[in-house]
Every structure is written in structure tokens, then in C-alpha cells.
Chains A and B, each alone.
Chain A
Amino acid sequence: MTGTSTSEFPVALLPDDILAALLVLAKQVSKRDRLAFRGHDSALQKVFRNLIHEFPSATMEPFVFSDSGPEPYSPVLSESISRLQLSGLVGRENPDYEVLFLRQSAEQYFDQELRHRLSKQDLGQLQQLAQRFLQLVEG
């Protein structure tokens, strides 16, 4: 992988960038070689709804949850996870694809493309969220 920051086409910080940053920070907090957790879309929606409810922050504002329906549902979150799968920064494991894992490239992407685009305040908030996220997915 080469991975120099070459983009001259500015793209705003996308929701899936924020999600990728949060997952990379969660891996760093966990101090493990690999971040993997069980979570179908429906389970992750609940985790993130609780997370955002506990720690309201400007960083997570794009993840708007619909106020109708029997359970919390954010299409932006669902699409962000799919986009991270499409771009290959996260993967899902056989056989039932319930286990979501972070690929190594996500860390490189975070270091070279995302870290410098996040303010100190954003990073602080995301670290706090990452810590709680780990507790929620592992609890």
C-alpha cells in the first residue's frame, strides 16, 4: 500500500470518515491487535443511538436518527457502514457476517487522510466516544 495524501479534490469530512476515525480510535483504546465485534445493522443502530444520547457532540451531528419507527434508525449510519464496507476499510466475517472488523488500511487512512482534518476538540470527543463504544459493543 502506498498511501500518500495526494487528494487535490477536497471532499468534506463525510459521515463514514467520522465513523472510520471512531473505530480506529476504539482499536487504539482497546490496545488489541485487531478490532472486531458482533453487530448486525440493527444492533449497531442501538449502540450508536445510545452513544450519541450519552455524549451529544457536534462531531456526531450527521448521524440523525429518525423519530418514527419502532427502533432507532439512522440511514446515514447504515449507509456509512455500507460505504466503509464498499471501500474496504471494514469487513464482515463468514459465516453469518455478523462480525464486523476493522482492516489495517483504516488506520493508515486515519493517519494520513483524517487525523489532520479533525480539530483537537473533535479528536477529544471521538476518543471519549470510542471508549464508551467499546464498552457498549463488548458489554
Chain B
Amino acid sequence: METIAEPQNLEDRVESLVEWLYEGVKPVIPRGSKVINDALLGNQYFTKAEVAVIDSPLIQRLKRIRQTGLVYQVFPSATHTRFEHCLGACTLAERSLRAIQDRFSVEYPDKQFPATTDRLRGNLAHLRMAALLHDVGHGLCSHSSEQIYEALSDLQEFRRKPAYAKNAPGEILSYLIVKSKAFQRWFQDVVVGGCHAAIDLDEVAEMILGKHADQDLFFLAQIISSPYDADKLDYIARDSYYCGLALTVDLARFYGMISTTEYEEKRILALRSYVPLEQIVFSKMTLFGSVYHHPKVKCLDAMLRSLIRHVVENPDQCRLHVRGKLIGFAEPVEYLYPTDEEFFNQLDGFGDEFVKKMLGRFRRRDLFVRCLEMSRRTITNWDDYHRKKLVDLSDPTADLHNVETEIHRRLPAAVKTQCNLGEVLMSVPGVPKIKGDFAYIQASPEGPVEPVEDFFPLEQWTEAYAHNKWRSFIYAPREHATFVRDSAISVLNDNLGVKIDRSKSDQACHI
């Protein structure tokens, strides 16, 4: 059995992952193109080269990684996966490009459209491949584990470089996977050699980071990574559809308004109206409020964090076996080895008593309960000074476990023997990332290029969220809830100066 966490850099670890994924996989050239039907987008058409990539282990593993992590435990139909999202992003990326081309031909009839739209070679082929591969860096439970491993030093170092500064951890890992020698070798054999596709993987990798070497084609990278990229267009529609929320992203109107313009020596995406973007941002805010920051979803995320922390702290008893590998979750790439199924369906042979107990809770949906709410409604000294102290705990580098440990330490002795330290959990959400990077509006081809904030007050939404929606919680097993609540109230008061109105919190937590 091979163990992983040997001293290697992030690139080397990614290389080992891809070699492991493709180990023993014989190159198979697909017979031809495919039509794949999707619940949301209908028939989607993929070239022979794309089918080769879709059928390869890198993309197939995404079928076993749920798009919204543990959200399905709260919204039972949200079992959609990263796999169908990647196919959808690929389709929507092409629709964006074709919509831009249509408008370009009307607005600039004398000019040649800068991008080519051949699916086997040229810009469209690269764009579609980048969309297909943009999420291969996702691992166990998607963003639920990304929140855990993003604080690990390997990735922090990457994000301190200007080249990666604006990219999410999963995007950086996707980029490194596409750049890996093992994937490049397989791609060269099967996709370039076997399917005769002229696609440069380095260009694809750059687009995943939102970059393009040709300034006149910069907008292609923005179709992959920007405030209105194909990723968002797909996941907002898909997540809301599968969660049963009637949110609307009017794609027809969006495609009618998307265009490009020259700005700061680059050809960038610009919308002719801010309305479609407002709709995207509004839907995203609603998803944060209703789904991603749902108290039970945050509880599940905290339970996963606790389980993984225990594995990391007890490597000898708790390593996970995944097809010949021993996983200790000590560094980011290890989160990409197991899929959701491989992690949660470990019935025997993984972990000690605590791990088995927690896995059992996930299987039975025996979740911890909210025992304390910290919000505008329950904090009696809800002033800026104390809010800052709580908000600081939402930083990925903050160690929430210090607070949890202190709460556990103060439990009555009799309770402490029954309640494991890993069963006292705190969740402090940060600010929803509603925009990220710049979005531009240009009402007409000759008009000024203006940032979207000039048209509708994005910053107001943060204010409104801070005042009305922001809540953090302490969770514990039901039988210990009142003890943990009392201990947490005393810790928050003594250590952070935050005073809680117990009766209001009890009301909010249904205690």
C-alpha cells in the first residue's frame, strides 16, 4: 500500500494523482461523436475528441462528486454532479461565443470576427475543452472540502502569486491537472493523435485561469472565468433547478446582450444591458441565503470538517484506503483521490470509533442540532467592535477549533466524557462572493465602458446581507445541546466579549 504525503511540491502531487488515475487505462478512441441529453439543457452535442475526454477517468470521476457537496441532505433532489455541470458549461460556453459572434457581425459588419468557430481545431475547440475540464480539480464533496483544504500552505503559496491571485483553489488544481505531463501524454495519444483534434492543452489550461495570450481573444478566457462565465450560467440554473428553487436566469436575454469591446488593450466581454447581470447576481445571492448558507448545510460542512480534522490528527488509525492509496487529508491533492461514494460508503476498515460514528451519522442523516445562534437577533451587544471579532473567525486561516476546544473544555465533567471534542462545532460564514473580478457594461458599441457598480449597487447587497442574513452557529449532538449552548455562551462572553440573549437564541434554534 502506497502512502501519499511525502515531501513533494503541489505540481508533483498533482502529477502523481493523474498518473494514478490513468494507471492501467488503455487508450480508447471513441467511434464517433455523441448526443447527450440533459435535464436542464436538452440535447448536447459532443465531438469525437470531446467524447474521448468525457469517457476518460478524469471526467468520469466527476460523476461521483456531487455538484453541491452535502446539500442533498437538506434538498434531497440536489444529487446532481460535477460531471453534468461540466457538460453543461461546455454547451453554454459555445452558446456564449456564438451569441457574441452574431452580435459582432451586426455591430461591426466590416470587421472580421477575431475567433474561429471550428469544433475540431481553433478557438471554439479550445473554449469547449476548457469548459469541459474547468472543474477537474474538484474533490470530495466539491466546495465542502475546498473550504477545508484552501487554508493548507501549498495552495496559500500559489495564491500569493499574481498569476493565480484571483483563482479559487479548485481552479488552480484544475489548471495543474491539465498541465500535468501524465494528462498531456494521454491527451496527445488519444485526442490529438487518435481523434485528430488540433488542441493545445497549454492554451486550455490558461483559459481555466481566465487568461489568454492573444489580447484580441481575451474574451474567450472570460467565457470560462469571469462574473458571467459559462460556469456560473450553468451552476446557478442547475443548482436552483435541482434544489427546487424557482430562480430565473434568462439565458435568451443574456445571449442577446453579450458582446465584446476593446478596453485597456484587450478585447473583453461587455454587456449591452446590466439587467441580465443583475439577474445573475440576484440569483446567486438567493442561492447563498437559501442553499449554500442554510444552517443545516453549514452543519454538514462543519461535521465533515470535524471528521477530516480527526483523520488528519490520527494518521495511524484513520487513513482512508482508495484503490491502493492511503489518504490522510494532510495536503490539498489528497482530497481529490476519494469521490463522495468512496468516502461515505466505507463501511469497514476506515478509521477509529469516532470516524465510524460520524460516517454513520452522515448515512442516517443523524445531524447535530443548532444549540446557539450568533446574529443581529441574538447578540445583545451587536456593535461593530464585536461583530469584527466574530467575522474574523470566518477567515480560512482562523482556527475555529480553538473556540470549539475552549467550549468543550468548559463542559461539565460528566458531559465531557460523553461528548467528544469533535462533536462541538462552530460555523462562521464569510461574505458571499457575489461578483468576483470586474464586470463591464457598454450600452452601445461606441459608448463608454463602465463598471457594473455604476449601474446597480452591488456593495449595497453586502450591507444588506450583513444586517439581515448573516448568522453563525454552534452545533452539537441533540443530547448535549443545552450544555454546549451554556458553555458556548460563557466562552463567547469571556473570550470575545460577545453577549448572547439565551432565550432569543433558544427560540431561533428551537431548543
Contacts and interface: CB of A to CB of B under 8 A. Distances in A.
Nearest to B222: A69
A96 B453 CA distance: 9
A70 B431 contact: no
Given A10-B402, A68-B211, A85-B431, 5 more contacts: A41-B435, A41-B451, A64-B161, A86-B470, A91-B463
Contacts of A113: 388
Contacts of B309: none
Given A41-B453, A65-B165, A83 B459 contact: no
A116 to B, nearest CB: 16
A138 interface: no
A132 interface: no
A7 B165 contact: no
Interface stretch (A28-36, A74-82, A118-126): A74-82
Contact of A82 (B263, B268, B389, B431): B431
Contact of A41 (B210, B268, B458): B458
10 contacts: A1-B385, A7-B389, A11-B397, A12-B397, A42-B453, A70-B218, A70-B263, A70-B268, A87-B390, A106-B384
Contacts of A82: 431, 462
B457 A1 contact: no
Nearest to B394: A83
B441 to A, nearest CB: 12
Interface stretch (B128-136, B281-289, B494-502, B503-511): B494-502
A49 to B, nearest CB: 11
B166 A66 contact: yes
B163 interface: yes
B235 to A, nearest CB: 19
Given A69-B166, A75-B166, A83-B431, A6 B496 contact: yes
A11 B397 CA distance: 8
B193 to A, nearest CB: 31
A82 B466 CA distance: 9
A78 B392 CA distance: 16
Contacts of A75: 165-166, 436-437
A88 B438 contact: no
A71 B226 CA distance: 13
Interface residues on B, range: 35 or more
A28 B351 CA distance: 56
B391 interface: yes
Interface residues of A, number: 49
A7 B438 contact: no
A118 to B, nearest CB: 16
Contact of A66 (B162, B406, B451): B162
Interface of A: 1-4, 6-12, 14, 40-42, 61-62, 64-71, 73-76, 78-79, 82-83, 85-89, 91-92, 96-98, 103, 105-106, 108-109, 113
Contacts of B395: 11, 14, 83
B316 interface: no
Nearest to B392: A11
Nearest to A12: B397
Contacts of B394: 83
Contacts of B496: 6-7, 9
Nearest to B264: A70
Contacts of B460: 92, 97
B419 to A, nearest CB: 20
A73 B459 contact: no
Nearest to B450: A42
A50 B406 CA distance: 43
Contacts of A79: 430-431, 433
Contacts of B466: 85-88
Contacts of A74: 165
A40 B451 contact: yes
Contact of A108 (B210, B385, B391, B399): B385
B465 interface: yes
Contacts of B392: 11, 14, 87
- The listed residue with most A CB atoms (<10 A of its CB), out of B218, B397, B459, is B459
A71 B460 CA distance: 23
B264 A2 contact: no
Nearest to B436: A75
B393 interface: yes
Contacts of A98: 453, 457
Contact of B462 (A1, A76, A86): A86
A79 B166 CA distance: 11
B99 to A, nearest CB: 21
B23 interface: no
Contacts of B451: 40-42
Interface in B201-219: 209-211, 218
B398 interface: yes
